[in-house]
A and B are shown apart, each in its own frame.
Chain A
Amino acid sequence: MTAALTPSTLELIARAICAARGLAFVRYVGAGAFKETFEVEQDGVPYALKVYNSRNNPERATREIDAMTRCAHAHIGRLVAIAVHDDASGRHAFSLEEYLGGGTLSERLSTGVLPPAAVHTLGVALIDAVAHIASLDLVHRDLKPDNIIFRADGVTPVVVDFGLVRDLNASSLTQTHVMQGPGTPLFAPAEQLLNDKAMIDWRADQFSLGVMLCYCAFGSHPYQTDLDSPAEIITRVAERAGPTSNFIDVAQAAGLPALVRMVAPWPVQRYRTPSALARAWAEQCPTSAEDS
């Protein structure tokens, strides 16, 4: 059995890539299940260098890179280059992407919720990004605040990390017998949690986006009662319990009623098409700070 490469090994590979490509290594940024990200520079321009762990599900790396190559949208991370690096430990895929310097949505939410109007503006941008992903028959499957990073202007949100992307025109990489499909459970819909593969389409991303926007607006999950732990919330989602009546009232009061349908337990109960979601979202009238 071969041991997985250690983080320090991937950093050594990142440094070697920089040396070979004329890039300046700046710092380690973070790690995901299949890759590590580093900030690098070339001619004063920062980039995100992502080095894939070649011994950990190379198919997922291929799918991610393929998805990012196909996406071209203002609110989706831009791929600059993809290549492989060979060394004594093997062949390592890596990608060079635009560096997003405005921090994550998670970091922003750590200081408190956003006003309804700001949530509305954020939703417009992210719904447009999800619509673009859906138009390519792709499902991101891991939309969450950690995977929304702002550009350096501080206001333009960008969807990143296509590591769990599903291509609806390609065979699934998740075995049918698996109890739970990939994704971050707290933001995943029931069909992902239960690995109901035939039900997974862009409406799974709609659910995750809805949950994320709920955290932005209200600081809580729409299925959460006061005393629920994250595990209990996930159980309620998996049981398709539906959003709480309190959440429904709060969403209506905030002028964001579309959130209720976005997080409906069954895909058929959500907006059927991205254009229907975009229309419904645009028609909302979020309350101003003075109103609330």
Chain B
Amino acid sequence: MPAYHQMGHDSENLLLDSGLTAFGGMIISPVNYSEPDVAAQIAAIRAVDEKADFDIVFDPQLYFPRTERGCLREWSYFPSDVDTADRSADSWWQSMITAIVPTIGRLHVDAVCSPAEVPRAYPDAYFAHAVDVGNMLADALRDTNIRPLQTAIIGLAELSTPRRALAVASIISATRCEGVYLVFVGSTEPRRELAHVEELKGAMRLIHALEREANLPVLVGFTSTDAVLWKAAGASSVATGKFFNLRRFTLSRFEEPGGGGGQLPYWVEESLLAFLRESDITRVRGQNILSVASNSNPFGQRILERLAEQPGKAWVALGWRQFMHWFADVEDLIESRTADVRTMLREAEINWRDLEDADVLMEEQRNDGTWLRAWRRALAEYLTH
């Protein structure tokens, strides 16, 4: 399946960008847009003949329900008692699903994720309740052509326990929904990469169990370069947004202001599986290790032209596009087995070693490729056990 565009703040101008046509779907964000705004985005997409198969997914975004969450309060399904209700009660969730169904009917979406909140801890009972809510949604959509997706939120640390992935997958796979929308919650700070071997391995095992054992298509949301690992584990689809060159899904993410993801421009470099600052690009180019993907990325070429012609001029928006173009491209290459993730990781680590040997250092101290050892170990151990 093609990559999905995770809509974020001020992202609608990317939907129809001629350089980002490889995206096969979008995940709507009611936090960042009102219902009329989203309806306009969908109408614009539906009006494009080439996007007849574009898959539009609605995520109710109740991960951390409270009244002051962006535009959420303006949506008709958003409960008025969110701050005071007993959210452990099935009836509360049933009422919300009853309210969501007409909303998504008006929007003509293709799929909807079951509402779910980020918990304080992840006991079995939490996942069982999530499945109950997913089944409520599946029942409510039974006579429609809208696909229900089971939202499964899980802390990466939880998955570091041996066998926990299979236990969670066993509970989640009881869903009557047609697929799983998987959200990994971590504590990784912005501009850091996931680097815990056992967590990554557990996450891959969870994806594998849901996809290959239970035959449930998995869409992993809120991903970045880590998407290559999820694809290697068999995820049908992965989603990213323009800010995911910087951010990860963490609890603190909800504490940030809604005005975007920072203003420093970054370049994603496949040959290093890393994000580079402007001066890093010059150094890496000097070592002749820019990837084929980078050299054929139209936004990458525009960035290089900009750097040559107007050094110092901001290129944040081009950086978002360069990342998203790469993301959809690499997703397609892995899906079609044109690219092998193990090889990609091995070569990236070799390239980092060569840079180290040549004393080529990146601008950010911790941007040194060390996470690739964890990724390679996680993938190797996942594949052999």
Q: Would you call B124 and A266 a contact (CB within 8 A)? A: no
Q: How many A-B residue pairs have CB under 8 A?
A: 41
A276, B169: Cα distance in complex, Å:
18
Q: Would you call B215 and A266 a contact (CB within 8 A)? A: no
A191, B215: Cα distance in complex, Å:
21
B 241-265 binary contact with A (CB < 8 Å = 1; else 0): 0000000000000000000000000
A194, B166: Cα distance in complex, Å:
15
Question: Across the two chains, which residue of chain A brings its CB closest to B168?
Answer: A268
Q: Would you call A268 and B128 a contact (CB within 8 A)? A: no
A266, B209: Cα distance in complex, Å:
10
Could you say which interface size class chain A belongs to? 10 to 19
A 240-282 binary contact with B (CB < 8 Å = 1; else 0): 1000000000000000000000000011110010001000000
On whether A191 and B170 interact (CB within 8 A), knowing A268-B209, A269-B209, the answer reads yes
User: A198 on the interface (CB 8 Å rule)?
Assistant: yes
A269, B210: Cα distance in complex, Å:
9
Main secondary structure of the interface of B (DSSP, over half): helix
B 156-174 binary contact with A (CB < 8 Å = 1; else 0): 0000000100110111111
On whether A268 and B166 interact (CB within 8 A), knowing A198-B124, A198-B171, the answer reads yes
- In whole Å, how far is B384's beta carbon from the nearest beta carbon of chain A? 17
Which residues of B sit under 8 angstroms from A191, Cβ to Cβ?
170
Chain B contact residue count (CB 8 A cutoff): 19
On whether A268 and B163 interact (CB within 8 A), knowing A198-B125, A198-B171, A199-B171, the answer reads no
B214 contact from A197, A201, A240, A272, Cβ within 8 A: A272
Q: Would you call B124 and A196 a contact (CB within 8 A)? A: yes
Q: Would you call A199 and B216 a contact (CB within 8 A)? A: no
On whether A268 and B173 interact (CB within 8 A), knowing A196-B167, A199-B167, A240-B163, the answer reads yes
Question: Across the two chains, which residue of chain A brings its CB closest to B206?
Answer: A268
Chain A residues packing against B (C-beta within 8 Å): 191, 196-199, 201, 203, 240, 266-269, 272, 276
A-B contact pairs, 5 of them (CB 8 A): A266-B167, A268-B173, A268-B214, A272-B214, A276-B215
Chain B residues packing against A (C-beta within 8 Å): 124-125, 127-128, 163, 166-167, 169-174, 209-210, 213-216
